[in-house]
Structure 1
Amino acid sequence: MSDLQNVPVTAVPSDARILDVREDYEWEAGHVDGAVHIPLDQLPARFGELDPDEDLHVICRAGGRSQRAAEWLEGNGYTAINVSGGMGAWADAGKPMVSETGSEPTVL
């Protein structure tokens, strides 16, 4: 069993490095400003873009994909923290988001 750390969105520091592992269309609709976007299926090929010395708060829509990504990152020498509830909980908590579409950010 994994000893992966899970935190609620309310416990994510304002200066946290956030890795969003959702698909492109989800990212474009709404994401955390300043987050790094690497879809889950691209992570094995692109994880070298991440700083292994930074704690990564990993987020998806609801928490499933980010859990898998965080476990994978932990297994590859990174410090990864799963954000419980994902972007759905982020939006519900009224935390700020931006979109790539010019529309009001939303979680798909």
Structure 2
Amino acid sequence: MTTSLTLVPSLTAADFFAAKLAYETDPSDLAAERASGDAPLIIDTRSGASWSQGRIPGAVHIPNAQLAARIADVAPDKDAKIVVYCWGPGCNGSTRGALILANLGYTNVRELIGGFEYWAREGLATVSDSGRARQAPDPLTAPLP
């Protein structure tokens, strides 16, 4: 016997997928957006130790526990373009951060799917307390050059 759970009966598949695309971005799309000069504010919601280990260049570090208290310092405009990220697909810190921001009235918040893990695995530049780095793309996540 198969059961289905319908949370939003009026939501169509097209509505669902359109919403996903409106509220999520992936590493390659975010990198292209940054390269175009139309970069959003990028917020790393992870712990201080995680931030030190590696991050997206130019990101702002605001752990979720501090997000509500500190966001206005870096994004006073509630319509600012913001992307939040955490470690990767096994971490929901970016989802929590995006929800915090949406509940505070921020209207243009997206979550980086794949998080820092897939940013690095796609061979995009990273920075840590030791300096800048770039690893070779993982052929399971990005085409090889």
TM-score normalised by L of structure 2: 0.64
Cα distance in 2 between the residues matched to 1:33 and 1:48: 21
Cα distance in 2 between the residues matched to 1:82 and 1:57: 5
Q: How big is each residue's C-alpha offset from its partner over 1:32-86, in whole Å with a ceiling of 9 and x where there is no partner?
A: 1111110111112212223133210101101510011101101211121000010
Percent identity between matched residues is 30
Q: Check conservation: 1:30, 1:105, Cα contact below 8 A.
A: no
Q: Which runs of 5+ in 1 are unaligned?
A: none
Higher RCO (CA 8 Å, separation ≥ 6 residues): 1
Q: How big is each residue's C-alpha offset from its partner over 1:13-35, in whole Å with a ceiling of 9 and x where there is no partner?
A: 21232111010011011111111
Equivalent residue, structure 2, for 1:6: 24
Judging by fraction of residues, say which structure has more strand. Answer: 1
Q: How many residues align?
A: 106
Dislocated runs of 4+, deviation >2 Å? 101-106
Query: Which has more radius of gyration?
Result: 2
Secondary structure of the residue aligned to 2:97 is helix
Equivalent residue, structure 2, for 1:58: 84
Give me the CA root mean square deviation. Answer: 2.4
Q: Which runs of 5+ in 2 are unaligned?
A: 1-7, 9-18, 136-145
